[in-house]
Protein backbone atom coordinates (compact mmCIF):
# COMPACT_ATOMS: atom_id res chain seq x y z
CA UNK A 1 0.00 0.00 0.00
CA UNK A 2 2.72 2.45 1.03
CA UNK A 3 4.62 2.00 -2.23
CA UNK A 4 1.55 3.26 -3.99
CA UNK A 5 1.92 6.61 -2.23
CA UNK A 6 5.69 6.74 -2.55
CA UNK A 7 6.18 6.15 -6.25
CA UNK A 8 8.52 8.25 -8.44
CA UNK A 9 5.56 10.30 -9.67
CA UNK A 10 4.73 11.22 -6.07
CA UNK A 11 8.30 12.41 -5.54
CA UNK A 12 8.27 14.47 -8.74
CA UNK A 13 4.95 16.03 -7.85
CA UNK A 14 5.99 16.69 -4.25
CA UNK A 15 9.14 18.52 -5.32
CA UNK A 16 7.25 20.60 -7.87
CA UNK A 17 4.50 21.47 -5.38
CA UNK A 18 7.02 22.41 -2.66
CA UNK A 19 8.87 24.58 -5.15
CA UNK A 20 5.65 26.29 -6.06
CA UNK A 21 4.82 26.83 -2.39
CA UNK A 22 8.17 28.60 -1.85
CA UNK A 23 7.66 30.81 -4.92
CA UNK A 24 4.05 31.72 -4.23
CA UNK A 25 4.61 32.35 -0.53
CA UNK A 26 6.82 35.24 -1.61
CA UNK A 27 3.87 36.73 -3.51
CA UNK A 28 4.82 35.68 -7.03
CA UNK A 29 1.93 34.10 -8.94
CA UNK A 30 3.79 31.24 -10.57
CA UNK A 31 1.94 30.54 -13.83
CA UNK A 32 5.25 29.95 -15.61
CA UNK A 33 5.54 26.66 -13.70
CA UNK A 34 4.03 24.65 -16.55
CA UNK A 35 6.47 25.94 -19.14
CA UNK A 36 9.33 25.53 -16.68
CA UNK A 37 8.33 21.91 -15.99
CA UNK A 38 7.95 21.04 -19.69
CA UNK A 39 11.27 22.69 -20.59
CA UNK A 40 13.12 21.00 -17.72
CA UNK A 41 11.69 17.62 -18.77
CA UNK A 42 12.94 18.19 -22.32
CA UNK A 43 16.34 19.38 -21.09
CA UNK A 44 16.71 16.36 -18.81
CA UNK A 45 15.87 14.04 -21.69
CA UNK A 46 18.16 15.69 -24.22
CA UNK A 47 21.20 15.97 -21.97
CA UNK A 48 20.68 12.49 -20.53
CA UNK A 49 20.52 10.97 -24.02
CA UNK A 50 23.36 13.10 -25.38
CA UNK A 51 25.83 12.50 -22.54
CA UNK A 52 24.45 9.22 -21.06
CA UNK A 53 25.16 10.74 -17.68
CA UNK A 54 22.45 11.46 -15.12
CA UNK A 55 24.79 13.87 -13.31
CA UNK A 56 25.20 16.01 -16.43
CA UNK A 57 21.42 15.96 -16.93
CA UNK A 58 20.94 17.04 -13.33
CA UNK A 59 23.42 19.92 -13.69
CA UNK A 60 21.79 21.03 -16.95
CA UNK A 61 18.29 20.95 -15.50
CA UNK A 62 19.34 22.94 -12.43
CA UNK A 63 21.05 25.52 -14.65
CA UNK A 64 17.88 25.73 -16.73
CA UNK A 65 15.81 26.38 -13.60
CA UNK A 66 18.20 29.09 -12.40
CA UNK A 67 18.21 30.89 -15.74
CA UNK A 68 14.41 30.89 -15.91
CA UNK A 69 14.18 32.12 -12.32
CA UNK A 70 16.43 35.06 -13.15
CA UNK A 71 14.51 35.89 -16.34
CA UNK A 72 11.11 35.70 -14.62
CA UNK A 73 12.40 37.72 -11.71
CA UNK A 74 13.64 40.38 -14.14
CA UNK A 75 10.21 40.58 -15.76
CA UNK A 76 8.29 40.64 -12.51
CA UNK A 77 10.56 42.54 -10.13
CA UNK A 78 12.43 44.89 -12.43
CA UNK A 79 10.04 45.49 -15.31
CA UNK A 80 7.03 45.20 -12.99
CA UNK A 81 5.17 43.05 -15.53
CA UNK A 82 1.81 41.60 -14.67
CA UNK A 83 2.41 38.17 -13.12
CA UNK A 84 -0.27 36.42 -15.16
CA UNK A 85 0.90 37.79 -18.49
CA UNK A 86 4.59 37.28 -17.74
CA UNK A 87 3.83 33.70 -16.73
CA UNK A 88 1.81 32.96 -19.85
CA UNK A 89 4.43 34.51 -22.13
CA UNK A 90 7.18 32.45 -20.47
CA UNK A 91 5.03 29.34 -20.84
CA UNK A 92 4.67 29.82 -24.58
CA UNK A 93 8.38 30.46 -25.02
CA UNK A 94 9.28 27.43 -22.88
CA UNK A 95 6.85 25.05 -24.63
CA UNK A 96 8.36 26.08 -27.93
CA UNK A 97 11.98 25.76 -26.83
CA UNK A 98 11.20 22.40 -25.20
CA UNK A 99 9.88 21.00 -28.48
CA UNK A 100 12.83 22.39 -30.42
CA UNK A 101 15.34 21.00 -27.91
CA UNK A 102 13.72 17.59 -27.48
CA UNK A 103 12.92 16.90 -31.12
CA UNK A 104 16.64 16.54 -31.88
CA UNK A 105 16.69 13.36 -29.79
CA UNK A 106 13.15 12.21 -30.55
CA UNK A 107 12.76 8.44 -30.57
CA UNK A 108 15.97 7.77 -28.64
CA UNK A 109 15.68 5.89 -25.37
CA UNK A 110 17.31 6.87 -22.09
CA UNK A 111 20.58 4.94 -21.61
CA UNK A 112 19.53 3.96 -18.09
CA UNK A 113 16.41 4.55 -16.11
CA UNK A 114 16.94 6.00 -12.67
CA UNK A 115 15.36 3.47 -10.34
CA UNK A 116 14.39 4.60 -6.86
CA UNK A 117 13.00 2.32 -4.18
CA UNK A 118 10.20 3.21 -1.80
CA UNK A 119 12.51 3.93 1.12
CA UNK A 120 14.67 6.39 -0.84
CA UNK A 121 11.59 8.16 -2.13
CA UNK A 122 10.12 8.31 1.35
CA UNK A 123 13.31 9.77 2.79
CA UNK A 124 13.61 12.39 0.03
CA UNK A 125 9.95 13.39 0.36
CA UNK A 126 10.23 13.70 4.15
CA UNK A 127 13.54 15.56 3.97
CA UNK A 128 12.45 18.08 1.35
CA UNK A 129 9.21 18.69 3.23
CA UNK A 130 11.00 19.20 6.52
CA UNK A 131 13.61 21.51 4.98
CA UNK A 132 10.99 23.61 3.23
CA UNK A 133 8.99 23.91 6.44
CA UNK A 134 12.10 24.85 8.42
CA UNK A 135 13.07 27.41 5.82
CA UNK A 136 9.65 29.04 5.72
CA UNK A 137 8.72 28.94 9.39
CA UNK A 138 11.92 28.71 11.43
CA UNK A 139 14.39 31.04 9.74
CA UNK A 140 14.40 34.83 9.56
CA UNK A 141 14.66 34.56 5.78
CA UNK A 142 11.47 32.47 5.74
CA UNK A 143 9.65 35.10 7.76
CA UNK A 144 10.88 37.78 5.35
CA UNK A 145 9.79 35.65 2.40
CA UNK A 146 6.29 35.19 3.77
CA UNK A 147 6.06 38.85 4.67
CA UNK A 148 6.76 39.73 1.02
CA UNK A 149 3.84 37.54 0.02
CA UNK A 150 1.54 38.87 2.69
CA UNK A 151 2.22 42.60 2.49
CA UNK A 152 5.25 43.76 0.52
CA UNK A 153 4.87 47.39 1.62
CA UNK A 154 5.08 46.51 5.29
CA UNK A 155 7.91 44.09 4.57
CA UNK A 156 9.83 46.92 2.94
CA UNK A 157 9.14 49.12 5.95
CA UNK A 158 10.73 46.45 8.13
CA UNK A 159 13.88 46.70 6.06
CA UNK A 160 13.37 43.73 3.77
CA UNK A 161 14.46 44.09 0.14
CA UNK A 162 11.32 42.70 -1.55
CA UNK A 163 12.88 42.31 -4.99
CA UNK A 164 15.91 40.44 -3.67
CA UNK A 165 13.84 38.21 -1.37
CA UNK A 166 11.50 37.31 -4.22
CA UNK A 167 14.49 36.56 -6.46
CA UNK A 168 15.98 34.15 -3.90
CA UNK A 169 12.55 32.55 -3.35
CA UNK A 170 12.19 32.05 -7.09
CA UNK A 171 15.69 30.60 -7.41
CA UNK A 172 15.02 28.10 -4.62
CA UNK A 173 11.53 27.25 -5.83
CA UNK A 174 12.49 26.88 -9.49
CA UNK A 175 15.34 24.54 -8.55
CA UNK A 176 12.89 22.34 -6.64
CA UNK A 177 10.51 22.34 -9.61
CA UNK A 178 13.41 21.55 -11.96
CA UNK A 179 14.36 18.63 -9.71
CA UNK A 180 10.74 17.46 -9.86
CA UNK A 181 10.87 17.55 -13.67
CA UNK A 182 14.15 15.60 -13.57
CA UNK A 183 12.60 12.86 -11.42
CA UNK A 184 9.44 12.87 -13.57
CA UNK A 185 11.43 12.10 -16.70
CA UNK A 186 14.34 10.02 -15.42
CA UNK A 187 12.42 7.83 -12.95
CA UNK A 188 8.80 7.91 -14.01
CA UNK A 189 8.29 8.35 -17.77
CA UNK A 190 11.69 7.31 -19.13
CA UNK A 191 10.98 8.49 -22.68
CA UNK A 192 10.04 11.73 -24.39
CA UNK A 193 7.53 12.96 -26.94
CA UNK A 194 6.65 16.52 -27.95
CA UNK A 195 4.67 18.27 -25.25
CA UNK A 196 5.53 15.76 -22.52
CA UNK A 197 4.78 17.15 -19.08
CA UNK A 198 2.26 19.74 -20.27
CA UNK A 199 -0.39 20.18 -17.61
CA UNK A 200 1.68 18.68 -14.77
CA UNK A 201 3.02 22.10 -13.88
CA UNK A 202 -0.47 23.51 -13.63
CA UNK A 203 -1.47 20.45 -11.64
CA UNK A 204 1.37 21.13 -9.18
CA UNK A 205 0.24 24.75 -9.00
CA UNK A 206 -3.32 23.74 -8.24
CA UNK A 207 -2.15 21.25 -5.61
CA UNK A 208 -0.11 24.01 -3.98
CA UNK A 209 -3.15 26.24 -3.87
CA UNK A 210 -5.37 23.40 -2.68
CA UNK A 211 -2.97 22.88 0.23
CA UNK A 212 -3.21 26.63 0.91
CA UNK A 213 0.52 27.02 0.29
CA UNK A 214 1.44 25.03 3.37
CA UNK A 215 4.63 22.98 3.01
CA UNK A 216 3.33 20.14 5.22
CA UNK A 217 -0.11 19.84 3.64
CA UNK A 218 1.35 20.08 0.12
CA UNK A 219 3.25 16.75 0.01
CA UNK A 220 0.29 14.95 1.58
CA UNK A 221 -1.94 16.12 -1.26
CA UNK A 222 0.77 15.52 -3.87
CA UNK A 223 1.44 11.92 -2.81
CA UNK A 224 -2.30 11.22 -2.54
CA UNK A 225 -2.80 12.45 -6.07
CA UNK A 226 0.09 10.40 -7.35
CA UNK A 227 -1.38 7.33 -5.64
CA UNK A 228 -4.78 8.07 -7.15
CA UNK A 229 -3.24 8.54 -10.57
CA UNK A 230 -1.23 5.33 -10.46
CA UNK A 231 -4.24 3.37 -9.20
CA UNK A 232 -6.40 4.90 -11.92
CA UNK A 233 -4.28 3.25 -14.56
CA UNK A 234 -5.10 -0.07 -12.89
CA UNK A 235 -8.79 0.74 -12.64
CA UNK A 236 -8.74 1.21 -16.39
CA UNK A 237 -7.35 -2.22 -17.09
CA UNK A 238 -9.18 -4.04 -14.30
CA UNK A 239 -12.59 -2.45 -13.83
CA UNK A 240 -13.65 -2.23 -10.20
CA UNK A 241 -16.77 -4.17 -9.31
CA UNK A 242 -18.87 -2.88 -6.47
CA UNK A 243 -21.76 -5.33 -6.21
CA UNK A 244 -23.21 -5.46 -9.67
CA UNK A 245 -21.95 -2.00 -10.66
CA UNK A 246 -18.86 -2.05 -12.86
CA UNK A 247 -16.80 1.14 -12.93
CA UNK A 248 -15.05 1.42 -16.25
CA UNK A 249 -13.40 4.61 -17.32
CA UNK A 250 -11.82 5.73 -20.55
CA UNK A 251 -8.16 6.88 -20.43
CA UNK A 252 -9.25 10.45 -21.16
CA UNK A 253 -11.65 10.49 -18.22
CA UNK A 254 -8.96 9.16 -15.91
CA UNK A 255 -6.58 11.90 -17.04
CA UNK A 256 -9.20 14.53 -16.24
CA UNK A 257 -9.70 13.33 -12.67
CA UNK A 258 -6.80 15.22 -11.01
CA UNK A 259 -7.95 18.48 -12.52
CA UNK A 260 -11.56 18.03 -11.45
CA UNK A 261 -10.45 16.89 -8.01
CA UNK A 262 -8.11 19.86 -7.60
CA UNK A 263 -10.92 22.23 -8.47
CA UNK A 264 -13.29 20.52 -6.04
CA UNK A 265 -10.67 20.53 -3.27
CA UNK A 266 -9.84 24.21 -3.73
CA UNK A 267 -13.54 25.04 -3.64
CA UNK A 268 -14.08 23.03 -0.46
CA UNK A 269 -11.09 24.61 1.26
CA UNK A 270 -12.17 28.10 0.29
CA UNK A 271 -15.75 27.50 1.39
CA UNK A 272 -14.76 26.30 4.89
CA UNK A 273 -13.02 28.00 7.84
CA UNK A 274 -9.82 26.10 6.92
CA UNK A 275 -8.99 29.13 4.85
CA UNK A 276 -8.44 31.27 7.92
CA UNK A 277 -6.24 28.76 9.74
CA UNK A 278 -3.49 28.77 7.10
CA UNK A 279 -3.05 32.42 6.19
CA UNK A 280 -2.52 32.46 2.42
CA UNK A 281 -0.18 34.99 0.72
CA UNK A 282 -2.58 37.91 0.36
CA UNK A 283 -0.45 39.94 -2.04
CA UNK A 284 -0.14 37.01 -4.49
CA UNK A 285 0.26 38.29 -8.03
CA UNK A 286 0.62 41.98 -7.13
CA UNK A 287 3.45 43.68 -8.97
CA UNK A 288 5.30 45.59 -6.27
CA UNK A 289 6.60 49.05 -7.10
CA UNK A 290 8.96 50.45 -4.50
CA UNK A 291 8.32 54.11 -5.41
CA UNK A 292 11.05 56.69 -5.64
CA UNK A 293 13.04 57.28 -2.48
CA UNK A 294 14.56 60.48 -1.27
CA UNK A 295 17.67 59.06 0.23
Partner 1 sequence: MLKIVIVRRELGLSKRIALSLTSIALCLAVSALIIYAITGSTNVVFAAFTSFVDLNTLRYLGTLTVIALGLCIAYRAKLWNLGADGQLVIGAILATWFALYTPLCSSSMGIVLGLVVAALGGMAWSFIAIALRIWIGVNEALATLLLNYVAYYLANHLVEGPWRGVAVHGYPETDLIPRACWIPCVRGYSFSPYIVAMALLLTVLIHVIVKRTRFGLAVKALGTGEALVELSGISAKKVALLAFLMSGALAGLAGGIELFEVQRKLILGTKFSAGLGFTAIIVAWLAQLEPLLVPLVSYFVGALLLMMVGIQIAGAGVGDAVAQVIVGVLLVSTLVSNFFVNYRMKIVKVKGVKL
* Phi and psi, residue 220, nearest 5°: -60, -50
Given the complex with partner 1, which of 54 and 287 has the nearer CB atom? 287
Is 247 one of the binding residues for partner 1 (CB under 8 A)?
no
Choose among 150, 277, 165, 167: nearest CA to 211: 277
Query: Which one of residues 202, 216, 232, 286 is an interface residue with partner 1 (CB under 8 A)?
Result: 202
Given the complex with partner 1, which of 81 and 220 has the nearer CB atom? 81
CA distances from 234 to 13, 155, 220 (A): 20, 49, 22
Choose among 55, 45, 17: nearest CA to 206: 17
Is 70 one of the binding residues for partner 1 (CB under 8 A)?
no
Which of the ranges 2-10, 143-151, 168-176, 194-202 carries the binding residues for partner 1, by CB under 8 A?
194-202
Are the C-beta atoms of 75 and 87 separated by less than 8 Å? no
Are the C-beta atoms of 61 and 43 separated by less than 8 Å? yes
Q: How far apart are CA 31 and CA 20, in angstroms?
A: 10
Is 293 one of the binding residues for partner 1 (CB under 8 A)?
yes
Is 239 one of the binding residues for partner 1 (CB under 8 A)?
no
Are the C-beta atoms of 14 and 133 separated by less than 8 Å? no
Tell me the per-residue interface mask from 81 to 120 with partner 1, x by CB under 8 A, - otherwise: xx-xxx-xxxxxxxxxxxxx--x-----------------
Q: Contacts with partner 1: how many residues (CB under 8 A)?
A: 51
Q: Give the interface with partner 1 as residue ranges (CB under 8 A).
A: 29, 31, 75, 79-82, 84-86, 88-100, 103, 194-195, 198-199, 202, 205-206, 209, 250-253, 255-256, 259-260, 262-263, 266-267, 270-271, 289-290, 292-293, 295
Amino acid sequence: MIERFLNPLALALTLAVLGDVVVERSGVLNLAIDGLFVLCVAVTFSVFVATSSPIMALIAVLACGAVLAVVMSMLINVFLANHVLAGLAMNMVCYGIATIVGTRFLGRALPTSLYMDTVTIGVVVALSTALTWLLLYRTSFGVALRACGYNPRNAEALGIDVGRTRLVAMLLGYELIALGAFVYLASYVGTWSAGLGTGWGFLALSLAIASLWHPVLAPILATSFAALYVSMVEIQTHPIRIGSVVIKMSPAMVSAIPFVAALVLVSILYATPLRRIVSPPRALGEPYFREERTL
